[in-house]
């Protein structure tokens, strides 16, 4: 029968092996110090815990910087510290994703866009820092630039079809024009049109049956081309 000392040693060896494999309960490793580089962390649970620490630190500093009674130097210093923590959090977010966790960077960026945050990248300003000399004007310029960029993106995503540039590619419009042209020619031959009035005023719009027929013909043609019949 194993002695108590041998049992204790066996349990210790088992715990060490589990720790090396990264399978120890995070609670047993909660006193581990946060490394300076996120890339040095090898366990997802640790990375998530360290990220939570940084989030709390950022929240505390953001709450503090809301006080406009702070001096300009202290406000600028606090704002610098918040930006430093945000960069640190970005690296931990990246590491968490590498270790198989959530992609917090993508989640946070999506939330910023949905909330209309114009400070999506680069140095950011918080609380009383937004009212510092020169900062308010800078933020207004950034907002105007972001709005202009968003409008530009909308126009970039509009397809040529929106402007009718490719209406003739499928052949349907040409077919409808052909029908209208034949009807106009028939009226001319019968003398139904007044010679003193422009033809454009008398061009008939194709009937629903004619439009349906043109579409059906186009679909047949597409199937024949697709299957080379």
Q: Which of 109, 111, 143, 106 is nearest to 125 (CA)?
A: 143
In a domain, 211, yes or no: yes
Q: Is the pLDDT of residue 91 over 50?
A: yes
For residues 174 and 138, state if they share a domain.
Answer: no
> Please, which pLDDT band fits residue 154 given cuts at 50, 70 and 90?
low
Q: Is the pLDDT of residue 144 over 50?
A: yes
Q: Which of 40, 9, 11, 39 is nearest to 24 (CA)?
A: 11
| More confidently predicted of 215 and 28 | 215
What mean pLDDT value characterizes the chain? 76
| More confidently predicted of 125 and 158 | 125
Question: Which residue, of 98, 125, 157, is where some domain finishes?
Answer: 157
Q: Is the pLDDT of residue 229 over 50?
A: no
**In the 3-class helix/strand/coil scheme, how is the chain assigned residue by residue?**
CCCHHHHHHHHHHHHHHHHHHCCCCHHHHCCCCCCCCHHHCCCHHHHHHHHHHHHHHHHHHHHHCCCCCCCHHHHHHHHHHHHHHHHHHHHHHHHHHHCCCCCHHHHHHHHHHHCCCCCCCCCCCCHHHHHCCCHHHHHHHHHHHHHHHHHHHHHHHCCHHHHCCCCCCCCHHHHHHHHHHHHHHHHHHHCCCCCCCCHHHHCCCCCHHHHHHHHHHHHHHHHHHHHCC
Tokens 């800078």 map to which residue? 138
Say what the pLDDT of residue 161 is. 57
For residues 116 and 196, state if they share a domain.
Answer: no
For residues 71 and 99, state if they share a domain.
Answer: yes
Q: For residue 203, what are the domain limits?
A: 165-227
Each residue's pLDDT tens digit, 158-176: 666 555 555 555 566 676 7
Question: Which residue, of 95, 127, 157, is where some domain finishes?
Answer: 157
Question: Which residue, of 157, 173, 204, is where some domain finishes?
Answer: 157
Percent of the chain with pLDDT over 70: 61
Task: For residues 159 and 161, give the distance between their C-alpha atoms in angstroms, rounded to a whole number.
Answer: 5
Q: Is the pLDDT of residue 27 over 50?
A: no
Whole-model pTM? Answer: 0.51
- 142 CA to centre of own chain: 19
| More confidently predicted of 214 and 125 | 125
For residues 139 and 181, state if they share a domain.
Answer: no
Each residue's pLDDT tens digit, 28-49: 455 578 999 999 999 999 999 9
Say what the pLDDT of residue 97 is. 96
């Amino acid at each position: 029968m194993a002695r108590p000392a041998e049992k204790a040693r066996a349990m210790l060896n088992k715990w060490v092996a589990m720790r090396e494999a990264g399978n120890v309960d995070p609670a047993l490793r909660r006193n581990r110090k946060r490394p300076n580089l996120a890339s040095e962390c090898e366990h997802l649970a640790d990375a998530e815990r360290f990220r939570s620490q940084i989030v709390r630190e950022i929240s505390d500093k953001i709450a503090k910087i809301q006080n406009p009674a702070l001096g300009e130097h202290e406000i600028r210093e606090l704002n610098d510290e918040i930006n430093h923590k945000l960069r640190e959090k970005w690296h931990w977010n990246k590491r968490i994703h590498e270790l198989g966790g959530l992609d917090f960077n993508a989640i946070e960026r999506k939330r910023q866009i949905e909330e209309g945050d114009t400070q999506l990248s680069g140095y950011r300003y918080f609380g009383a820092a937004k009212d510092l000399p020169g900062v308010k004007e800078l933020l207004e310029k950034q907002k105007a630039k972001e709005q202009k960029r968003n409008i530009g993106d909308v126009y970039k995503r509009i397809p040529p079809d929106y402007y009718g540039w490719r209406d003739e590619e499928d052949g349907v419009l040409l077919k409808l024009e052909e029908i209208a042209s034949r009807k106009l020619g028939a009226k001319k031959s019968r003398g139904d049109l007044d010679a003193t009035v422009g033809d454009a005023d008398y061009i008939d719009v194709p009937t629903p049956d004619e439009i349906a027929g043109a579409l059906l013909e186009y679909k047949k043609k597409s199937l024949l081309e697709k299957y080379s019949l």
